[in-house]
Every structure is written in structure tokens, then in C-alpha cells.
């Protein structure tokens, strides 16, 4: 019997800890498929963040290191500089990457650190129960912006790809979304390109994936995907913000 669909090798056969309807599972799968297709699991090391995906060290089959909150790019730098032939990626949420870890993120890009960052942006702190994230939208109601995010008081959301695209060391900065089949396919292409750029030693690559948080948004899975389309994509336009281009397959 022909196998037409199966779990990627780079994902271990353990249950995920994510809420129903959350798109972390899809994004994990895209990373794992990429690792399988490039045949790099044996020399790949992943860095887990603090947040909902903290326990992804149990999910990915490659070696894994769990980093302090926001410090994943610094930990990845140490791993990569120690063994440059290894492929090193971080998997981080918006609070981890764009608030507490802003300096580590920006300076890894500044150095052109040859690592790949998978940035999952769902506009909220999920693990701690739905507080305002650096990427929460204007007027978005969260536990810590109960009257909606007032940008005159709490500031404006950060557009990470646009910011990192200004840096010389960034080889690839692309924003994709996990909200429908076409966008998921594009996300896969972007993630594969990011890993390929690392293999080709081109520098810092980041793929920002717009993602959902049904639990803390207070919506069901379908409504969440629609909310992402209606609210996040207009503020965070999908697209390629920086690409050094070249010979990638």
C-alpha cells in the first residue's frame, strides 16, 4: 500500500501540549518536514523558547536546548559558533522574541549570525493566560489591556520583519501565515528557504508565521483563523521583506 501522508521523521511520536485549534502544530510540522526533506536531522540543534512552545524540546527529534526567556538567539549563537557545521534554529513566540528578547534578536541579525529563526506571532502571551504582547494590535482586548490596547499609552505593535529587513546581516526576512492551505504551503517554502540559506552560509534568516490563539482570543478555531485574516494580515502584511537572493533550490 502506497503511503501518501505520514508524520515527519523529525517529529517524535509524542502528544503535543497545544490547545485545540492552535496553529503551532502546523508550524511544527512545516519545520519537521523541512528537516526531513533537507536530510539534516542528525546535525540540527533546535532551541526552545519560553512560552507555549517551551516543551517543543520533547517534540523535535533533533538535539534540543531550552533557553531562558528571550535568549534563544544568544544560545543559538553559542551552539552555532561552537559547531559551525551544525544547523541551528530557534522557535520563538512574540513575547519571547519581540519583547524580552528584542536585543538578542536584533543583534543576532546584526552579526549576520548564520542561524534560522522561526517566529510565531499570535499577538498575545499564550502560556501565561493572554496578556498584551509587543505584537498585540491597536484596540486588542487582552488580560492586561482590558479596555483594548491604547497605543497612546501602551505603544504600537512591532513589525519585526520590517525592522530586521533594515539590517545588513539579515539574509532572509519573510512573513507568512498559517491560516489557509495556500498560505501554509507558502509558509513551508519560506521555512525551507530559510534553512537552505543557513546551509549556504548566507547569514541570519527569519520566517515570521502569523498564528492563532483560540483560547486566549476567546474564539473557536474557525473564528480565530478569520480573525487573523481580518485583523492581523492588514497590520502585518505577508511578504518577503529581505532576501539576498541567489542560487537556492
Partner 1 sequence: MAKVLMKGNEALAEAAIMAGCRHFFGYPITPQTELAAYMAKKMPKIGGVYLQAESEIAAINMVLGASAAGKRAMTSSSSPGISLKSEGISYIAGSDLPAVIVNVQRGGPGLGGIQPSQADYWQATRATGHGDFHLLVYAPSTVQEMTDLVALAFDNADKYRMPVMILSDGMLGQMMEPVELKTAGSTDCPIEKPWAACGHRNSRPHNVINSLYLTPQALEELVKKRYEKYEVIKKEEQMADEYLTDDADIVLVAYGASSRICRTAVNTARKEGIKAGLIRPITLWPYPAKYIEKHIAHAKSFLCVEMSMGQMVDDVRLCVNGRKPVAFYGRTGGIIPAPDEVLNEIRKLTGGTK
Binder of partner 1 out of 26, 86, 148, 226 (CB under 8 A): 86
Nearest to partner 1 of 108, 184 (CB atom): 108
Binder of partner 1 out of 11, 31, 35, 74 (CB under 8 A): 74
Nearest to partner 1 of 64, 219 (CB atom): 64
Helices 102-110 and 72-82 cross at an angle (nearest 10°) of 40
Nearest to partner 1 of 97, 137 (CB atom): 97
By CB under 8 A, residue 64 contacts partner 1: yes
Nearest to partner 1 of 72, 173 (CB atom): 72
Shortest separation between residue 73's beta carbon and partner 1, angstroms: 8
By CB under 8 A, residue 129 contacts partner 1: no
By CB under 8 A, residue 58 contacts partner 1: yes
Cross-strand bridge partners of residue 206: 117, 173
From 55-63, 121-129, 186-194, 200-208, give the range in contact with partner 1 by CB under 8 A. 55-63
Please write down the HEC assignment for all residues of the chain: CCCCCCCCCCECCCCCCCCCCCCHHHHHHHHHHHHHHHCCHHHEEEEECCCHHHHHHHCECCEEEECCCCCHHHHHHHHHHHCCCCEEEEEEEHHHHHHHCHHHHHHHHHCCCCCEEEEEECCCECCCCCECCCCCCCCCCECCECCCCCHHHHCCCCCHHHHHCCCCCEEEEEEEECCCHHHHHHHHHHHHHHHHHHHCCCCEEEEEEECCCHHHHCCCHHHHHHHHHHHHHHHCCCEEEEECCCCCC
By CB under 8 A, residue 55 contacts partner 1: yes
Shortest separation between residue 52's beta carbon and partner 1, angstroms: 13
Binder of partner 1 out of 19, 25, 29, 63 (CB under 8 A): 63
Nearest to partner 1 of 60, 91 (CB atom): 60
Binder of partner 1 out of 26, 65, 99, 154 (CB under 8 A): 65
CB 29 within 8 A of CB 11: yes
Nearest to partner 1 of 80, 242 (CB atom): 80
Q: Which is nearest to 187 in space by CA: 80, 78, 49, 28?
A: 28
Q: How many residues bind partner 1 (CB under 8 A)?
A: 38
Give the residues lining the site for partner 1 (CB under 8 A).
Answer: 12, 41-45, 47-48, 54-55, 57-58, 60-68, 71, 74-83, 86, 103-104, 106-107, 110
Amino acid at each position: 500500500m502506497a503511503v501518501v501522508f505520514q508524520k515527519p521523521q523529525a517529529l517524535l511520536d509524542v502528544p503535543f501540549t497545544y490547545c485545540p485549534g492552535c496553529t503551532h502544530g502546523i508550524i511544527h510540522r512545516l519545520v519537521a518536514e523541512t528537516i526531513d526533506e533537507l536530510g539534516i536531522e542528525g546535525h540540527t540543534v533546535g532551541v526552545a523558547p519560553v512560552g507555549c512552545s517551551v516543551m517543543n524540546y520533547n517534540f523535535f527529534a533533533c538535539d534540543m536546548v531550552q533557553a531562558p526567556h528571550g535568549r534563544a538567539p544568544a544560545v543559538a549563537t553559542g551552539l552555532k559558533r561552537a559547531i559551525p557545521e551544525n544547523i541551528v534554529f530557534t522557535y520563538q513566540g512574540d513575547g519571547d522574541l519581540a519583547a524580552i528578547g528584542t536585543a538578542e534578536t536584533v543583534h543576532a541579525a546584526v552579526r549576520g549570525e548564520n542561524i534560522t529563526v522561526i517566529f510565531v506571532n499570535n499577538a498575545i502571551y499564550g502560556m501565561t493566560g493572554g496578556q498584551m504582547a509587543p505584537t498585540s494590535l491597536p484596540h486588542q482586548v487582552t488580560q492586561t489591556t482590558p479596555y483594548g490596547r491604547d497605543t497612546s499609552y501602551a505603544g504600537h505593535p512591532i513589525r519585526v520583519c520590517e525592522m530586521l529587513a533594515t539590517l545588513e546581516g539579515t539574509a532572509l526576512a519573510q512573513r507568512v501565515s498559517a491560516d489557509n492551505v495556500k498560505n501554509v504551503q507558502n509558509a513551508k517554502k519560506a521555512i525551507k528557504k530559510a534553512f537552505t540559506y543557513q546551509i549556504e552560509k548566507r547569514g541570519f534568516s527569519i520566517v515570521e508565521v502569523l498564528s492563532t490563539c483560540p483560547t486566549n482570543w476567546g474564539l473557536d478555531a474557525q473564528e480565530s483563523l478569520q480573525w487573523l485574516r481580518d485583523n492581523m494580515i492588514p497590520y502585518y502584511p505577508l511578504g518577503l521583506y529581505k532576501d539576498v537572493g541567489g542560487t537556492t533550490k
